[in-house]
Structure 1
């Protein structure tokens, strides 16, 4: 059994993570960051939950046009496999990411 108070979690570097759980080939990781990630495409589905802070989620549609959706604490972004996206926090943020274990 494990309890985690997300708002107290910090890391020594941007996108530092704490493994929360791994089951049935899926991982749940708590991330802390104050810096953008990078444009990427996951090789599986990803669930991105903002627990604390604000994140500007940039994503590209099928025509590769860029869009931005502002996410606040409690907001959820679902990226299906092949969705190109970039998370850009607005200050410090804590994010729960649920995806296939070892996903790139």
Structure 2
């Protein structure tokens, strides 16, 4: 990890892969990850952790399967949302988005339980920025 300031615009410009988060820094035992998103991710669940999203650019939608039924939250640029642990969810970005996430280090991007992973989704615990 860098001991220098990180410009998120430059960090995002350093890779093209979609749904393939890059770790820009760590805070205690949490990764701060950025990702480019377009199209659909995969329905998945993080059993033991919440998942925080901040939309840096574009628009992200997150479908949620909750006890009360299924719903979708719309996150425009600048919006934040936390998916509670144990909630099945699927992010998608019809027109593309850039997203910043906070997750405990080692959290798989496709969760602990998930549907079949499509080829365009990278199942990872995050890549170090620059790789």
The number of residues matched between the two structures is 103
1:50 equivalent in alignment to 2:55: yes
Runs of 4+ residues over 6 Å off in structure 1: none
User: What residue in structure 1 maps to residue 67 of structure 2?
Assistant: 62
Preserved CA contact (<8 Å) 2:53 2:101: yes
User: Structure 1 residues 22 and 88, CA, compared in 2 at 3 Å: closer, same or farther?
Assistant: same
Instruction: Indicate whether 1:86 and 2:128 are aligned.
Output: no
Question: CA offset at residue 62 of structure 1?
Answer: 1.8
Distance 1:16 1:67, change over 3 A: same
How many Å apart are 1:24 and its aligned residue? 1.7
Unaligned runs of 5+ in 1: none
Q: 1:44 to 1:8 in 2, by over 3 A?
A: closer
> Residue 7 of structure 1: CA displacement?
7.6
Q: Which runs of 5+ in 2 are unaligned?
A: 109-131
Cα distance in 2, alignment partners of residues 60 and 30 from structure 1: 24
TM-score, normalised with respect to structure 1: 0.86
Distance 1:40 1:88 in 2: 12
